[in-house]
Amino acid sequence: MTDRVDATAFNFEQGTRSRKLFAAVVLAALDDAIADDKKFGNGPDQIARWARSRDGREVLSCAGIDPNERVVKGLMEFVAKGVRTSVALSREESERRAAALLEAEAA
């Protein structure tokens, strides 16, 4: 009985690690598209092309993200903002956005 439970827990843990690895690939693709946007001005088109490709859909699915048009549009909007993923995911950026939202509501 405990062997079966241990095997299930191990498989779940491996699946979680795999999703995190593929999520890191998605973040790297976003950073590449942002860099392309700054250099060539075609970042949103690049990420859309990647997300709609067979490989992109596979990576998004493995990361636990449903590869539909709504997701592609969201990725394009994120790239258009030009904020690197490491900055967007940082605590300071989250606090800055929350403060800006409170100021906007107060005004």
pLDDT exceeding 90 applies to what percent of the chain?
Answer: 64
**pLDDT tens profile 84-105:** 998 888 888 778 888 888 888 8
d(CA 37, CA 80): 8
What is this structure's pTM? 0.80
d(CA 50, CA 96): 30
**pLDDT tens profile 60-85:** 999 999 999 999 999 999 999 998 99
Question: Tokens 């690197």 — which residue?
Answer: 84
d(CA 102, CA 93): 14
